[in-house]
Amino acid sequence: MKLTVGQAVVRFLAEQRSARDGVQHRLFEGCLGIFGHGNVAGLGQALLEAELNAPGALPYRQARNEQGMVHTAAGFARMRNRMSMLACTSSIGPGATNMVTGAALATVNRLPVLLLPGDVFATRVADPVLQQLEDPRGGDVTVNDAFRPVSRYFERIWRPEQLPAALLAAMRVLTDPAETGAVTLALPQDVQAQAHDWPEELFQPRVWHIARPVPEPAAIARAVDVVRSATRPLIVAGGGVIYAEATEALRRFAEATGIPVAETQAGKGSLPFDHPLALGAVGATGTTAANAIARDADVVLGIGTRWSDFTTASRSAFAADGVRFVNVNVAAFDSVKHAAVAVVADAREALIALTEALGGYRTPADYQRLAADLAADWDRTVEAAYHLGHAPLPAQSEVIGAVNDASEPRDVVVCAAGSMPGDLHKLWRTRDPKGYHVEYGYSCMGYEIAGGLGVKLAAPDRDVFVLVGDGSYLMMAQELVTAVQEHIKLIVVLVQNHGFASIGRLSESVGAQRFGTAYRFRSGEGRLDGAVLPVDLAANAQSLGADVIRVHTVDELRSALAKAKESDRTTVVHVDADPYVDAPSSESWWDVPVAEVSTLDSTRSARTAYESARRAQRPYL
């Protein structure tokens, strides 16, 4: 079959399927793209031809920012538990390198995204072409080499004959739960338009079976020996529980053993917030309940977590002498962290095996009561934070409370950066495994609206609440236009802080006096500490086509959210909040180094506090 490389890529992607537990899914449900000279004649022409000749085979969606469209693809893949995904195509040069940040986010979060950036002429007949970086070290170096460290698989297709093997290798990585992340196939612009006679079997429907690796019996036996020795065990549920659709297996395991459950950012929703054994968030942005149990835990069972510094409170959360770890993870790399007893397996399969092998084991009744009492205390703290009655501007915790009350159990909250993710982690009452979507592996400012678009594409039957601060909004709001164009409804709650609230708070804690974190005019002294900038983000959102509601109080916010729920259009609710009101403390710590010497009293004081806190760090060896 004679097709161009671009046409072959489109036709191949349209025929791929994934399968797990006997259920098949379309592997690629569309392609996001922005066209330029590097891809318009190749993939652009191919997507047009597919739209005209095979509508729905690989739907094209127009994006506004290359980084944003990768975030959309990441949000989509996460919402679909990595069973379906989107491809993204860009031109060469800045279009391609704009996707690098999105690629890093996808890889850090283990989310499958296929990137198809244009590249220079393979023939080099017209070097240097527009937007080409000339590297004196070699003619085969292009800006797309920047994708190599942030991609799980990278290939540049210099000749059409190389395409079939590269496509199959890309699919293998994208569908491997342990290896998945961004996959980049760089396509020189002349090669994209080049015709080749392809074997028919390349375009036959192909099913990629998503593995559920079963645990090794000896590994289960070792894990069981450790857990049976525990009197104060704790489960830490990570994103692997959600992706493996193992929440029901986790509930049964927890109820059978009486082991309380704490959650990472990616694992939030593994248990409903009001389950008797649910402690909520753990670590630097955790609940006091989870962190109190974590401090005294003698065995910690991590399921599907990669143990980030926020989860371990920079390795100070688990403080008991002789604490031991058991790690269940599909990735061997993560399973051995903290010198753990490693169980390399799918989370659901491992939990089923552990439940059976631990038959008869149960934590002491007084320990379960302690966990339940601590969780109830924290829930009362959350209720108070939701209804502070702060004036004249509401506190951020009140904004979260209003959105939580307005949302249905299956609705989704989306966030990524600033102070909001930490507050959501500890305060949001999650009722559904897919109801909480906070990107905190890379915590990328600007992810929120673009990622929320991907979530809504993946789950059109759920309302999606995007919580975004003014700092992140200014980084990337363009995909509001895509939502409007595609008639995709988002409810965006835009919190106006007049600066970087989270980093302002962090700056103050390290003695840097909130330097460079407020949106202010330059004063007569030359510092950025003058009057507030007259930035009208509500007007900006309206200019992009969204419906906009301005509110000033919590009651007005609740009314606006109800109106947004009833609408079928993207609505931005703009609310000013008081960035100086902190959410309830996690009674935890995060390691951010403080200047060791300084002429500033604020910095010297912060350094003293830092050195004191650092003494609690443990090597977990």
Residue-wise pLDDT tens digits, 3-53? 999 999 999 999 999 999 999 999 999 999 999 999 999 999 999 999 999
List the one residue out of 239, 258, 181 whose CA is nearest residue 433.
239
Antiparallel, parallel or unpaired: β 324-329 and 341-344: parallel
Using omega within 30 degrees of 0 as the cis cutoff, is the peptide bond preceding 392 cis? Answer: yes
Q: Are residues 353 and 394 in the same domain?
A: no
What mean pLDDT do residues 483-506 have? 91
Q: Does the pLDDT of residue 166 top 90, yes or no?
A: yes
How do residues 110-152 score in pLDDT, each as one tens digit?
999 999 999 999 999 988 998 989 889 988 999 999 999 999 9
List the one residue out of 47, 33, 111 whose CA is nearest residue 76.
111
What mean pLDDT do residues 487-505 have? 91
Expressed in angstroms, the distance from the first to the final Cα of the chain is: 58
Tell me the HSE value of 306 on the side-chain side, using a 13 A CA sphere.
12
Q: Are residues 194 and 221 in the same domain?
A: no
Residue 52, domain member (yes or no)? yes
How do residues 418-474 score in pLDDT, each as one tens digit?
999 999 999 999 999 999 999 999 999 999 999 999 999 999 999 999 999 999 999
Q: Are residues 355 and 373 in the same domain?
A: yes
Per the model's pLDDT, the better-predicted residue between 486 and 527 turns out to be: 486
* Candidate from 87-101, 202-216, 518-532 with smallest mean pLDDT: 518-532
How do residues 586-604 score in pLDDT, each as one tens digit?
999 999 999 999 999 999 9
How do residues 533-562 score in pLDDT, each as one tens digit?
999 999 999 999 999 999 999 999 999 999
- Extract the tokens encoding 557: 């916010």
Q: Are residues 61 and 123 in the same domain?
A: yes
Q: Which of 377, 402, 428 is the last residue of a domain?
A: 377
Residue 21: CATH number of its domain? 3.40.50.970
Which residues in 381-398 are b (16+ Cβ under 10 Å) and which e?
Answer: bbeebbebeeeebbbbbb
> How high is the pLDDT of residue 524?
80
> How high is the pLDDT of residue 508?
84
Using omega within 30 degrees of 0 as the cis cutoff, is the peptide bond preceding 205 cis? Answer: no
> How high is the pLDDT of residue 529?
86
Q: Are residues 359 and 430 in the same domain?
A: no
Q: Are residues 399 and 424 in the same domain?
A: yes
Q: Number of folded domains in the chain?
A: 3
pTM reported for the whole predicted model: 0.97
Residue 252, domain member (yes or no)? yes
Q: Are residues 241 and 98 in the same domain?
A: no
List the one residue out of 580, 578, 610 whose CA is nearest residue 592.
610
> How high is the pLDDT of residue 514?
86
Q: Are residues 296 and 185 in the same domain?
A: no
Residue 53, domain member (yes or no)? yes
- pLDDT band for 510, please (50, 70, 90 cuts): confident
Q: Which of 209, 238, 255 is the last residue of a domain?
A: 209
- The residues pairing with 302 across neighbouring beta strands, listed in sequence order, are 236, 327
Say which residues have a Cβ less than 8 Å from residue 611's Cβ, sequence separation at least 6.
none
CB of 98 within 8 A of CB of 66? yes
Per the structure, the complete domain to which residue 235 belongs is given by 217-377
Read off the amino acid at residue 592: V
How do residues 326-376 score in pLDDT, each as one tens digit?
999 999 999 999 999 999 999 999 999 999 999 999 999 999 999 999 999
- pLDDT band for 499, please (50, 70, 90 cuts): confident
Residue 62, domain member (yes or no)? yes
Q: Which of 209, 244, 260 is the last residue of a domain?
A: 209
Residue 420, domain member (yes or no)? yes
Antiparallel, parallel or unpaired: β 464-469 and 412-415: parallel
Q: Are residues 14 and 144 in the same domain?
A: yes
How do residues 225-260 score in pLDDT, each as one tens digit?
999 999 999 999 999 999 999 999 999 999 999 999
Which residues in 346-356 are b (16+ Cβ under 10 Å) and which e?
Answer: bbbbbbbbbbe
> How high is the pLDDT of residue 527?
85
In Å, how far are 265, 422, 428 from 405, measured between CA atoms?
A: 20, 19, 10
Residue 227, domain member (yes or no)? yes
Residue 606, domain member (yes or no)? no
